[in-house]
Homo-oligomer: A and B are copies of this chain.
């Protein structure tokens, strides 16, 4: 860092402003790139360590199992064993249900809880995340691929495209992680996710009415209107037997949730409830031959673990657009869900989760999953919460779940073929009802109307148009707001808080005192092309208003002090605008003074020669100095600055 140079009208009276030469472009670029892609500085531990330790640390960083497995103890395993068995009991019904939601054979759902958790336990960095299939992604895959291929007429092609979509999703996640583009996930705001989840959950609930009512004909459209219309049209197909069983199961599941809410210690009641429903359903179906009464069962679950699906991957250009679309959308959604959930639980335990590393783990598990007859997996909220509550300590819980699933696939799979579809519908519906967060939406409404609109755009977009339209609408609105934030930055007039050297917004602090002959403006946010036109208008308006106000008091404006403390950066258009503002004000005999430019802004002002133009004596470290400086120039050098006009 170069030494501090010059500054101040009368050198010694004022505190020195740093006019050091700007950093080189390479230095500034490197620092910007680091902030953009490595905000968490993952390699801060590496500095000054010898090479073998660096290599070991790097291995532990990229493959977390090398970090936790050496420290693993028998005691930790007891916790993980219990948690693993618990989540396996959830994985079986969820696997079958969500596979049904995606219109693929139920056994694929079970396969998907075997391989991916193993991969995650090697590469994943979250201790609590339980890997599995999720409803939202299952529905998106189904909706997108159904548009190209009918899953009933051409089930094999449909399944192949689902595997292809999974591969594309995994590759996307891997690429995002490797290039550290976790920043993209940041653009899915909480409000968007709340609305999107709510909308998707509503759709899925409606779709489950097919199972609950035991309907034979249904629509491949996913929007609310089509689904309600098809139910009304086929209302004569509704089977009361199925409906009764479904409602009973649903009431039971909702009751266990209610119990959990009232007594969080009884969380296991709601955790095992889906398994209870499935087992009860199977027994009931086996004993009562329910198929004869219009209650369909899953049917045909082959014994044995995942076959290879390498040859199933289908890149036929005729259909490729569907898996690409499904893959890209689900990659983002799955990441947003998985990372947000992993992060939430990590925060509870005061641990750090690296979003980019999680992306790599998710990407690898989906790539390998697509080769071994699995479809898209991520970290579902329900399973992860159960895992955490069941006391899991490390990623070993996923390994335990994986082994349980393997045993199930080898020995128990045929038993589950008696599962009534209506039981699965009830399980899905119950899970979905928990995802519609009325409270959160109401909270948004009360606290931030624009966030509420973003949330509702996602909800209604998903419910009435389609999932991607809803998502894009909501993200678009959120981006619009982001752009408006930068296009219309706040500025305020400052006044002196009595008996202090502090200057604050006069609207916020009505007691603050005006400074004679001076207008102090605080700017915020970067100044650049998108807001420089606005800022010019706004500053000139501030000046005009202040002139009118001061004129009515027999005073006038001779100095405009611009507080740059809140200006984080500036571009060429911004600097040109400053030049214009200065010119416009000097015509009115008003001098512009700048206070406290930040490092990056100062660099740009020096390199564009703006500082030379206004003169170093017009740049101050604090508002107090600036006011003193202005008074000094008013009394001692009435015409100071006129020579440079």
Report A's interface with B, CB cutoff 8 A.
1, 4, 15, 18, 25, 29, 32, 35-36, 39-41, 44, 182-183, 185-192, 347, 350, 352, 355, 443-444, 446-451, 478-479, 481-490, 492, 497, 500-502, 504-505, 507-511, 522, 524-526, 528-534, 537-538, 540-541, 544-545, 565-569, 571-573, 575-576, 580, 583-584, 587-588, 596, 598-600, 602, 604, 607-608, 621-622
Contact = CB atoms under 8 A, between A and B. Distances in A.
Contacts of A479: 483
Contacts of A511: 4
Nearest to A36: B488
Given A447-B607, A483-B479, A572-B451, A621 B528 contact: no
Nearest to A445: B25
A347 B528 contact: no
A529 B41 contact: no
A568 B485 contact: yes
A621 B495 CA distance: 13
B18 A509 contact: yes
B190 A39 contact: no
A190 to B, nearest CB: 5
Given A15-B500, A36-B488, A482-B530, 17 more contacts: A32-B488, A36-B487, A39-B488, A185-B533, A186-B532, A190-B573, A447-B607, A479-B483, A481-B528, A486-B486, A492-B598, A492-B599, A504-B596, A505-B598, A524-B525, A524-B566, A525-B526
Contacts of A190: 529, 572-573, 576
Nearest to A508: B599
A187 B529 contact: yes
Contact of A541 (B40, B189, B191, B504): B40
Contact of A529 (B32, B186, B350, B596): B186
A90 B536 CA distance: 33
A622 B588 CA distance: 34
5 contacts: A29-B449, A183-B488, A189-B529, A350-B584, A525-B568
A567 B478 CA distance: 18
Nearest to A606: B447
B568 A565 contact: no
Contacts of A39: 488, 534, 537-538, 541
A598 B485 contact: no
A352 to B, nearest CB: 7
Contact of A189 (B530, B568, B600): B530
Nearest to A588: B350
A182 B504 CA distance: 31
A41 B571 contact: no
Nearest to A499: B15
Q: Which 8 A-B pairs have the closest CB atoms?
A: A189-B529, A566-B566, A524-B568, A490-B568, A508-B599, A350-B587, A40-B537, A39-B537
A571 B448 contact: yes
A482 B487 CA distance: 9
Given A544-B44, A568-B566, A448 B604 contact: yes
B450 A541 contact: no
Given A566-B565, A622-B502, A450 B35 contact: no
Contacts of A502: 15, 621-622
A447 B604 contact: yes
A621 B494 CA distance: 14
Contacts of A485: 486, 525-526, 528, 568-569
A507 to B, nearest CB: 6
Contacts of A32: 488
A12 to B, nearest CB: 12
Contact of A607 (B189, B191, B446, B571): B446
A185 B573 CA distance: 13
Given A500-B622, A566-B565, A568-B490, A541 B350 contact: no
Nearest to A489: B568
A540 B4 contact: no
A189 B531 CA distance: 10
Contact of A449 (B25, B182, B510, B584): B25
A482 B588 CA distance: 33
B572 A191 contact: yes
Contacts of A187: 487, 529-530
Given A484-B36, A502-B15, A621-B502, A531 B568 contact: no
A15 B571 contact: no
B525 A525 contact: yes
Nearest to A497: B15
Contacts of A487: 36, 183, 186-187
Contacts of A583: 347
A507 B576 CA distance: 27
A98 to B, nearest CB: 28
Contacts of A497: 15, 621
Given A40-B537, A502-B622, A186 B530 contact: yes
B40 A599 contact: no
Given A41-B541, A486-B486, A576-B190, A18 B528 contact: no
A91 B461 CA distance: 52
Nearest to A573: B190
A530 B192 CA distance: 12
Contacts of A189: 528-530, 571, 573
A547 to B, nearest CB: 12
B508 A598 contact: yes
A281 to B, nearest CB: 40
A384 B565 CA distance: 39
Contacts of A186: 487, 529-534
A493 B416 CA distance: 60
A459 to B, nearest CB: 15
B508 A18 contact: yes
Contacts of A483: 479, 482-483
